[in-house]
Structure 1
Amino acid sequence: MPQLDTATYLKNIDFKRKSIFVVHEKLERTLPRHTHTKSQLTYVEGGIAYIFIANKTYIIPARHYVWIPSGLEHYLNVRNAATVTHNLYFYTHDDHLNPFYQKLGIYPINSLLFEMLIFTENWIGTIEKKDPGYRFLAAIKDILPQLSTRSFPIALPTTSNMRLRPIVLYLSQNFAQPLTLENLADRFGMGARTLSRLFQSTMSISFLQYLKLLRTVKAIELIMFSDKTTTEIAYLTGYNSLAAFSKAFFQLTNIRPSDFGKKG
């Protein structure tokens, strides 16, 4: 199957609603914000992808997949050419049978699911019930609720607020610096209490929570795309000790940074 242009890709997802549409890609593709009637499973192999939904950016690390329910507006971004995505778009007539299928989730894969997803490379395009491979692909959907019980929790809020956007941009470029609410407020000419309320009112998160999330996302990127040691990454993301970094990372991901990405 030749490489699809974006318009054809999106059109083919819902071409036959009772089918399963399969696409495997290794490229830096950014689809526009869109919806489809099918549910979507995207597995990220060998890198990181990002999914943007409403006012949040979710990180999808290697060895994880995202489940996107039918009708949820989103777009997916893969920023590294070494990242491979396996995309399965499923019929939805049975989604009501389990609440798993009706909510967004990012989940780690185990060895069984990993082997099954890699095996899906045997098929590409629209797979109907009469076609070889349909039952195998349908079995993947059927077992997801049993295999996937804990969602990966890293979601970085975004904002269109004109007062907060330059502050968020500054944080994204200076996350390794010794940042405090007070010195950040001074830099942008406002009081600390005003800035604190701005974070809470526009993104429903405190400044410190946002900074911890941002540093965790940056740490995950460094783990996946650099050869830095865990200690080096701790200092590069603004922590003054490996212990403090490891504790913060584990609190958010339930994975120790030294173990993260080992199987990626």
Structure 2
Amino acid sequence: MDQSTKENLLSAIDEQPQHTYVWHSKFEDRFRHHKHLKGQLTYVEGGVIFLYANDKSYFLPGRHYLWIPAGVEHHLAHRYRSAIVRNIYFESNAEHPNPFYDKIGIYPVNNLLLEMLKYSEHWNGNIAPGTPQYDFLNTLKNILPDISKHPLPIVVPTTDNERLRPALQYIHQHLSEELTLAKIAAATGFSERTLSRVFLASLDISFFQYLKLVRITKAMEKLLESDLTISEIAYEVGYDSISSFSNTFFKMTGRRPSSFKELKIASLSQDPGTTQ
């Protein structure tokens, strides 16, 4: 998709504020940082994506959907090829406010929502109020708060602080190693005290919290997008104990690694449809 086509698509999403806009296609990645006048639901059949918004990165695994409130600047990055991406853009909820629609969230997709999304797979473009398609999609939107009680609690903060960037890069490039504050400080020219202070000031979490988030996020990615065993993944993201890895993973995601890996099987078993 060339740049002019991308710009036209972004404009088309908001040109009819009271319409629901449907786009079942390939991805919204490589778009500029942008925002919509409408709330956005995105569901990906296959692959892994990251949302970058509000100085944080959000991990979207299989069998989960992403909700982005109206007016939130964002861009999406797709790490792996997907069969199809389902995007639905809903009008603002000013008249019928619900706190659910005002915050970014990543939620599991139950069978009901999955079937509703697949039912709409042949619709694209503006869906006008008063049509059966609009009423169907409005029902889909209205049930989201009731079926989405448990957001995925994995959010990795990001920063534009150039001083901290080498330390963050070092962590990502040496994730399988034993990483300590002292080791990273020595490798990147910080004192331990200064590096600790910069982490807190720039990311609002400690070095150890950040390291844990990155390790578990990378593990989630590998569980869904590689054929490595759970033991191999644990070692690749820096754990030398399978039980420690499993317990940390459970505390942060609410699932054991083996259960999370089953999301890959569930995603692959879906009929991806034929819409392009």
Q: TM-score range by the shorter chain?
A: over 0.9
Residues in 2 aligned to 1:53 and 1:93: alpha-carbon distance in whole angstroms: 20
TM-score normalised according to structure 2 size: 0.90
Contact 1:25 1:86 in 2 (8 A): yes
Residues 156 and 145 of structure 1: CA distance in aligned 2, closer, same or farther (over 3 Å): same
Match of 1:37 in 2: 37
CA distance in 1: counterparts of 2:24 and 2:49, whole angstroms = 14
SS at match of 2:65: strand
Write the distance in 1 (CA, Å) between the matches of 2:37 and 2:95. 11
Residue pair 2:234, 2:242 contacting (<8 A) in 1 also: yes
State whether residues 43 and 66 of structure 1, in contact with CA within 8 Å, keep that contact through their aligned partners in structure 2: yes
The AA in structure 2 aligned to 1:18 is: Q
- For 2:39 and 2:55, locate their aligned partners in 1 and report how far apart those are by CA, in whole Å: 21
Q: Does 1:157 align with 2:154?
A: no
Q: Which runs of 5+ in 2 are unaligned?
A: 268-276
Could you tell me whether the CA contact under 8 Å between 2:28 and 2:76 is conserved in 1? Answer: no
Aligned AA (2:22): V
Question: Equivalent residue for 1:237?
Answer: 237
Q: Establish whether residue 189 from structure 1 lines up as the match of residue 164 from structure 2.
A: no
Q: CA deviation at 1:83?
A: 5.0
Structure number with greater CO (CA < 8 Å, separation at least 6) is 2
Percentage of pairs with the same residue: 45
**1:104 is matched with which residue?**
104
Secondary structure of the residue that 1:259 maps to in structure 2?
A: helix
Count the aligned residue pairs: 261
Distance 1:116 1:94, change over 3 A: farther
**Alignment check: 8 A CA contact 2:26 2:85 kept:** yes
Residue 87 of structure 2 is aligned to residue 87 of structure 1:
yes
TM norm structure 1: 0.94
1:229 and 1:101 map into 2 onto residues whose CA distance is: 37
1:9 equivalent in structure 2? 9
- Partner deviation per Cα, 1:9-54 (whole Å, 9 max, x = no partner): 1011101111110011235732211111111111122121111113
Q: The residue matched to 1:130 in structure 2 has which SS?
A: coil
Instruction: Look up the SS of the partner of 1:227 in the other structure.
Output: coil
Output the amino acid matched with 1:228: L
Equivalents in 1 of 2:241, 2:35: separation in Å? 43
Matches of residues 197-236 of structure 1 in structure 2 within 5 Å? 197-236=197-236
Residue type of the alignment partner of 1:48: V
**Could you tell me how far 1:95 is from its partner in structure 2?**
6.0
Structure 2 match to 1:47: 47
> Quick one: which amino acid aligns to residue 55 of structure 2?
N
| Aligned-partner residue type, residue 118 of structure 1 | K
- CA positional deviation for 1:196: 0.9
Give the alignment's Cα RMSD to 1 decimal.
1.6
- Deviation at residue 134 of structure 1 after TM alignment: 1.2
Shift of residue 84, structure 1, vs aligned partner: 2.7
* Partner residue, 1:122: 122
Return the letter of the residue paired with 1:34: H
